[in-house]
Structure 1
Amino acid sequence: MKALSSPDLTLVLAASSFAALGSEQRLQVLRTLVRAGPQGLSIGELGARVGITGSTLTHHVKILAQAGLVRQAKVGRSVICAAVAYEDLKALADFLLANCCADVGCAHDEETPND
């Protein structure tokens, strides 16, 4: 996701990123790559950790890469996948919360959960 000044374009880019995360399997792949850190995982190790292999995993990684959330690099005979958009992931969360309670004036972080 690229930061742009137009609110409409930002909305479109956020929607595109969220659409890429709209699959339980893709969300699991991204979370696994985030846990692995910037060095990433080989496609084989990633598949073993998430329980997805072959063309299905390739399909999901491709969609995440098109959204700019992961990258793939060939290292020797291996393909390494890594989450590259840590700041963009944080920006997506901030995007969701940017207008939190704006219409009602509440402060969500002052609330305490009901026990």
Structure 2
Amino acid sequence: MDKSQAIDALHALAQETRLDVFRLLVRQGEAGMAAGEISEFLGVKQNTMSANLAVLSRAGLVRSEREGRVIRYFADFEGMRNLLAFLMEDCCGGNPDLCKPVLDEIACAC
């Protein structure tokens, strides 16, 4: 990930609804959610949700799959890993022991 891509991803997450969508999709994991389900769950109009999902998709934070007439969205964990790796690229001046608490905190306990 380069600086421009990181800025796009951070910009996408710097809006309340998009952050809520991303966190919801992270919780859903491999199951993902249909666009209409996301709208209903978060109480956001479908056309507004479509615009927000498009921003997250362009930023590489969500991906979608068509299932007949329904579009299912998923958190793009590879995109999230790339963003986190970019942000922590030169962490702790080459002293990995200083980064361990941060990495432990963000590691999935599932």
Letter in 1 for 2:80: L
Deviation at 1:18, TM superposition (A): 1.1
Q: Report the secondary structure of 1:98's partner residue.
A: coil
Q: Report the secondary structure of 2:55's partner residue.
A: helix
Deviation at 1:25, TM superposition (A): 0.8
How many percent of aligned residue pairs carry the same amino acid? 33
Paired residues in the alignment total 101
1:41 to 21, 29, 33: 33
* Larger gyration radius, structure 1 or structure 2: 1
Cα distance 1:49–1:99, how it changes in 2: closer, same or farther (>3 A)? same
Structure 2: stretches of 5+ with no match in the other structure: 102-110
- TM-score normalised by length of structure 2: 0.74
**Alignment partner, residue 16 of structure 1:** 8
Supply the distance in 1 between the matched residues of 2:78 and 2:69 (Cα, whole angstroms). Answer: 30
**Alignment RMSD, CA only?**
2.5
**Alignment partner, residue 61 of structure 2:** 69
Supply the distance in 2 between the matched residues of 1:108 and 1:67 (Cα, whole angstroms). Answer: 26
1:88 to 57, 65, 79: 79
Contact 1:72 1:80 in 2 (8 A): yes
Supply the distance in 1 between the matched residues of 2:36 and 2:53 (Cα, whole angstroms). Answer: 12
Contact 1:32 1:50 in 2 (8 A): no
Letter in 2 for 1:58: S
Structure 1: stretches of 5+ with no match in the other structure: 4-9, 111-115
Residue 38 (structure 2) pairs with residue 51 (structure 1): no
Q: Whose helix fraction is larger, Structure 1's or Structure 2's?
A: 2
